Chain A
Amino acid sequence: MLDRIGAVMVKEVRQLARDRLTFGLIVGIPLMQMLLFGYAINFDVRSLRAAVVDDAGTSLSRAYVAALQASGVVEFARPSAGVPELQRRMSAGEISVGIHIPPDFERRALDRTRPAAQLLVDGSEPMVDSVARGLTAVPLPRRDGAYGSAAPLLELRTEYNPERRTAVQIVPALIGVILNMTMVIFTAAAIVRERELGNLELLITTPIRSGELMAGKLLPYVGIGLVQVTLVLSVGASLFDVPVNGSLGHLYLAALLFIAATLTLGLVISTFARTQFQAFQLAFFTMLPSILLSGFMFPFDGMPKAAQWIAQVLPLTHFNDMVRGIVLRGAPITDLGRPAIKLLAFLVATLAIATLRFRKRLD
């Protein structure tokens, strides 16, 4: 039995090594995603283009504008003459944020019951609105202690990521996204290809059992998955300075569990797809909800109940829970029993479906 599994593994690895494109994708997909998410995609929005209408023109209003600029959130373009012009520039897409300082700014600043100035925000872009809202917290500069806001009600301390860098939040979660993508697609395609090319018809007439065939085909991908995990972690550490606060052993253990779950998902897909193209489509069909609903980019708690239920079925949701716990919060895997058990349940369920559906026969 082991010899037959070994034979299939050797064959798979040989074919994989000769398939330059697939081999390239195994390394290429993680690298490309790391660079994309690490550099290009940044939730920590800075330097929004802004313009100011300063109808007060006092030293306090100028100090206030300087304080806003110093926050780094906005970058001021030339000032506007009036509010209508400000609105026109925003609608033309020239600026995302406008600030109107009324003529009675100083008096309003003293009167704590009314806002001192107005902030106009372009609500058509997803991230701009919430970021610009942060500007409302910028205190008036104290000139001599006479006015200016007191200390804020709440002091904010961001645990595990004090500098609030996006890369720290994104890179660990990318491990799951990348594994999900490559494992599901490659295994589904590898199995469906043999059906499409007719190899399976020959294999069925040999003494090999379907379990041996599956094991031999999937095991090389476990190795590939672990290589990808290592790649993401080392690129994350060297380029984006993402630390691994928890145990590496626990992280690999969690990754192994997740790899097994995605491989069996690929297996299930392969039992439904007749052609490689169908396999790709089905894999993609599972990919999108995984990325959107797993809490990879959008906070899980903000989703409607139905979306949360769907997310519970996706292995990526639970792996993200585990990986963020281990990498960022330094939690031991024993503290992450709930997501681990859910992943295990997914693994068992998909394995059962795949075993029931995969028949060693053509019809």
Chain B
Amino acid sequence: MSAAPAIVATGLTRRFGKLTAVDAIDLTIPKAGIYGFLGPNGSGKSTTIRMLCGLLEPSAGTVEVLGHRMPRDAERLRRRLGYMTQRFSLWDDLTVRENLEFMARIFGLGAAERRQRIGELAVDYDLGGVLRQRAGTMSGGQRQRLALAAATLHRPELLLLDEPTSAVDPQSRRDFWESLFRLVGDGATILVSTHYMDEAERCHGLAILAEGQLVAEGAPRQLMRDIPAAVVEIEAVDTVAARAALQGGEPVRSIAQLGTRLHALLDRATHDPAGYVRTRLALAHVDAVVHDVQASLEDVFVAATGFRHGPRDRAAPH
């Protein structure tokens, strides 16, 4: 791993009229690894990625990508960056081979290199059987593999992927992530945005965005360990009654349902969180099994983003 980071952003801000889509984000993304942006829709993930690859000009703040200032030096970096848009943006009316050939020529690959790379990628991304098929007639998973193949044709050092798996089935998502790890193994740095917890958990580093702000950052494990809340798991037959019994309790920050169980996030300072929950439920005559648990990434996400929407926190100054 080289010492210099792949991306350094300071005070990165982007406003669209009165709306602040990205609000003073500071980021340092190391080389050779997968770095994830986790956040709900509208949290500023796409806008941030677009500023990082020079598509949008920041309203304030600076971005340095692979040692170059963006967007000033964007053109110099084109050959070293690969970008995959959120929407499929290759050409539906061209075949897989034609799409790849076009992108390869745009990136200045010679005829022999083109043939060789397209051959390799067809194997890597399982596109050999559909090279003559038009992109518009393919499945979501195939289109996404084609888009990734097109983004890696020129062997970029840094790949920016904007919600690459939002339109594909779970099996395709798993295969896709296998490809990403292979690319990182070859020395690439990958920045990927997602709203899937399981994907976020696979990242080496993670930034959680909410309403344009960076609300948590770190390795997933570290984030789960350092969560600023106590997590209590409640197994109850009547989860609705259990939720009602806990709602409004002084240290209760949020309650989320995970399958048949509830996860309650309590103020970190709470003495014996499980005991507190047991008492509340007993008072309300709700039968439940309650114990302290290790936070999941979902809890981290809720703790980092959900609190912001709580009635008490809305009144609090930012």
Contacts and interface: CB of A to CB of B under 8 A. Distances in A.
B54 interface: yes
Interface string A18-37: 11000000000000000000
A15 B78 contact: no
B56 A361 contact: yes
A172 B311 CA distance: 75
Contacts of A201: 55, 85, 89
A10 to B, nearest CB: 7
A205 B81 contact: yes
B68 to A, nearest CB: 14
Interface stretch (B105-113, B178-186, B263-271): B105-113
A194 to B, nearest CB: 9
B267 to A, nearest CB: 42
Interface string A206-226: 111100000000000000000
B64 to A, nearest CB: 17
A11 interface: yes
Given A202-B83, A202-B90, A205-B78, A361 B103 contact: no
Contact of A204 (B55, B79, B103, B108): B55
Given A15-B91, A19-B93, A199-B89, A207 B55 contact: no
A144 to B, nearest CB: 80
A7 B100 CA distance: 11
Interface residues of B, number: 28
A203 B107 CA distance: 10
Nearest to B14: A363
Contacts of B89: 197-199, 201-202
A91 B71 CA distance: 73
Contact of B55 (A3, A19, A208, A362): A362
A6 interface: yes
Given A7-B102, A202-B83, A202-B90, A207 B108 contact: yes
A10 B85 contact: no
A6 B56 CA distance: 28
A241 to B, nearest CB: 41
Please classify the interface of chain A as helix (H, G, I), strand (E, B), loop, or mixed, using the class held by over half of its residues: helix
Given A361-B71, A362-B56, A202 B108 contact: no
Contacts of B87: 198
Nearest to A205: B83
B56 A14 contact: no
A49 interface: no
B83 A207 contact: no
A11 B57 contact: no
A4 interface: yes
Chain B residues touching A, majority SS: loop
Nearest to B160: A205
Interface in B63-101: 71, 75, 78-79, 81, 83, 85, 87-91, 93-94, 98, 101
Nearest to A216: B106
B95 to A, nearest CB: 9
B204 interface: no
A207 B93 contact: no
Contacts of B55: 201, 204-205, 361-362
B53 interface: yes
B173 interface: no
Contacts of A362: 50, 55-56
B57 A199 contact: no
B79 A207 contact: yes
Contact of A206 (B78, B91, B93, B94): B78
A191 to B, nearest CB: 14
A2 B105 CA distance: 10
A315 B81 CA distance: 43
Given A198-B85, A206-B78, A7 B105 contact: yes
Given A7-B105, A11-B91, 5 more contacts: A7-B106, A18-B93, A207-B78, A207-B106, A362-B55
Interface of A: 3-4, 6-8, 10-11, 14-15, 18-19, 197-199, 201-209, 361-363
Which A-B residue pairs are the 5 nearest by beta carbons? Answer: A7-B105, A207-B78, A198-B89, A205-B83, A202-B89
5 contacts: A8-B106, A15-B94, A197-B89, A198-B85, A205-B55
